[in-house]
Chain A
Amino acid sequence: MRALLLRDLRLALRAGGGFGLGLAFFLIVTVLVPFSVGPQSELLGRIAPGVLWLGALLACLLSLDRLLALDWEDGTLDLMATAPLPLEAVVTIKALAHWITTSLPLVLAAPVLGVLLNLPTAGFLWLVVSLLLGTPALSVIGTFGAALTVGLKRGGLLMSLLVLPLYVPTLIFGAEAARRGAAGMAVETPLLMLAGISAATLALLPFASAAVLRVNLR
């Protein structure tokens, strides 16, 4: 398992582009927001938590394409399926590698971009906490979407249609927690819900992803 994780991490690091691409996309989205809604700093500060969450989510979505497709094309996925490691573990590791290479940098970059959007000082901590708790769910759900569409020629667009509705609850609770944190309100409830979603998806969705992958590899 560790070998698989290290392999995925090394590939992501050395293949170039893929690693930084999500971050660059996040930056671009954040920079475009003031252009589209106007530069009033008071307004920006109010919408900053939601915008940052949305940007992180889209950047996460952008990188899902490569999650399984490359291994599918060169046949590595077939080898992994026949390896002694259960397929459920393989997809969990894949999701973990995706989280480390894509979501974690987004979490770390979010406060920096929060400065650009004039996020209130109280909000920084809760933004990071909510992203930390919520992004695992995004990665796991995304792995399921990637497994569903792995055999298709142009699966990327279809995958966003499949994955985005599944992202709704995570986005609601995550952005709500960040918004309440920024406004200085109590954040426990949305944070707990967010943690619950992450834990539940992490516990259940790998089975669905593995089942889907088995069908696709058949």
Chain B
Amino acid sequence: MSIWEYANPKKFLTTSERVMPALWVSAAVLCTVGLIWGFFFTPDDYRQGSTVKIIFLHVPAALIAINAWFMMLVASLIWVVRRHHVSALAAKAAAPIGVVMTLIALITGALWGQPMWGTWWEWDPRLTSFLVLFLFYLGYIALWEAIEDPDTAADLTSILCLVGSVFAVLSRYAVNFWNQGLHQGASLSLDKEENVADAFSNPLYVCMIGFGLLFLALVLYRTGTEIRARRMRALMLRERMQA
């Protein structure tokens, strides 16, 4: 009994289908509770007014946006080293979710930045490196789409993901050097004196866990779809061979 057992597509499908209903429900509940709690039952901030509430969407989305790429990196590594197809397909399935989360973070950030900083966009390190991350996602998805043979596509995108990760980190520091920013530093941590007040952080934690579960459910669901799409492709190829 090891985790590699789930590299078998059939085993993966049956297991993930058993887990998924619970995941969907808990993700939906946590997101709803967290967002409603955040939007309607927290006090207005004394300086930022009600706009502060956008963090309940902005922070979890940004969190998932970065970690989705990290998950793709791990999945790509597993594909390169052990060649489990489910792993490559999971990386493929995660990319569009990552794009959407990046976009949500960018858009909510712009909506928040307009009243607070007086600008929709600022060439600030955090904002800029997120935009670069968005471009990385686009390139990754485009490469998947462009190549017909699934194994070749998996190989090439894996290597692109590895190289892209290095450059994403490098860009992050390069951009930091290039311009000092407007975006506030991290305000949630376990060991710092100055944290966001509990009234805000509790619903935020709920939202973050909810988004995490939502991401997990979406990845499992989309990976299942990819596996089935690949099976269909194999069947159709076989039929064409016989005809």
A197 proximity list for chain B (CB < 8 A): 170
* B positions within 8 Å CB-CB of A: 132, 135-136, 138-139, 142-143, 146-147, 152, 155-156, 159-160, 162-164, 167, 170-171, 173-175, 177-178
Which residue from chain A places its CB closest to the CB of B178 in the assembled complex? A172
Complex contact B143–A166 (CB within 8 A) = no
User: Number of contacts between A and B (CB, 8 Å)?
Assistant: 74
C-alpha gap A189/B177 in the complex (Å): 10
C-alpha gap A149/B147 in the complex (Å): 9
C-alpha gap A152/B153 in the complex (Å): 11
B155 proximity list for chain A (CB < 8 A): 212, 215
B136 proximity list for chain A (CB < 8 A): 165
C-alpha gap A169/B173 in the complex (Å): 8
Complex contact A158–B159 (CB within 8 A) = no
Complex contact B160–A162 (CB within 8 A) = yes
From residue A166, how far is it (CB to closest CB) to chain B in Å?
5
Given pairs A158-B142, A193-B177, 6 additional interface contacts (CB within 8 A): A161-B142, A162-B142, A169-B173, A173-B174, A215-B156, A215-B159
Which residue from chain A places its CB closest to the CB of B179 in the assembled complex? A172
* A positions within 8 Å CB-CB of B: 144, 148-149, 151-152, 155, 158, 161-162, 164-166, 168-169, 172-173, 176, 189-190, 193, 197, 205, 208, 211-212, 215-216, 218
From residue A212, how far is it (CB to closest CB) to chain B in Å?
5
A189 proximity list for chain B (CB < 8 A): 177
Which residue from chain A places its CB closest to the CB of B147 in the assembled complex? A152
Complex contact A216–B152 (CB within 8 A) = yes
Complex contact A161–B177 (CB within 8 A) = no
With A215-B156, A218-B152 known to touch, is A169 a contact of B138 (CB < 8 Å)?
Answer: no
Complex contact A165–B135 (CB within 8 A) = yes
Which among A152, A173, A215 has the greatest number of chain B C-beta atoms within 10 A? A215
Which residue from chain B places its CB closest to the CB of A173 in the assembled complex? B174
